[in-house]
Amino acid sequence: MDTKVRIKQLMDERNISEYRLAKNSGLSQSTISNIFVRNTSPTIPTVEAICNGLGITLSQFFCDESQEQSVYLTPEQKQMFDSWVSLSEEQKQAITTLIQSFSK
């Protein structure tokens, strides 16, 4: 698997820029940029940080799309997840609070 291609695919699916991925993952923008511009291979800790920034697990990163949907997410969950990753931290907190209020 080409990690650069996979990262780009996930960014495109979620409509996330390099800048937003850097912010979400806690990595510098130059680290993200170097993966694409200098064609550097990210280390496992960097891939883990990127996964955190994308809101996925490392195993989801390395499985193909059909496995991801069939093993981890229903279509409804995938739709919710795709919407979730583009929210701000404040919006995520508000949604989390709302969901928790329903389960009480």
Q: How many CB atoms lie within 10 A of CB 5?
A: 9
At 29 the pLDDT is 94
pTM above 0.95, yes or no: no
Tens of pLDDT, residue by residue over 14-56, are 999 999 999 999 999 999 999 999 988 899 999 999 999 998 8
At 69 the pLDDT is 47
Range of the domain at 26: 3-102
At 46 the pLDDT is 95
Tokens standing for 88? Answer: 């701000």
Q: Output the CA–CA distances (angstroms, integers) from residue 21 to 2, 27, 104, in the order listed.
A: 18, 8, 34
Number of domains in the chain: 1
Mean pLDDT over all residues of the chain?
86
Token pair 């390395």 in the structure block, residue: 62
Angle, helix 44-54 to helix 3-14, in steps of 10 degrees: 10
CATH of the domain at 84: 1.10.260.40
Residues 75-83 have a mean pLDDT of 80
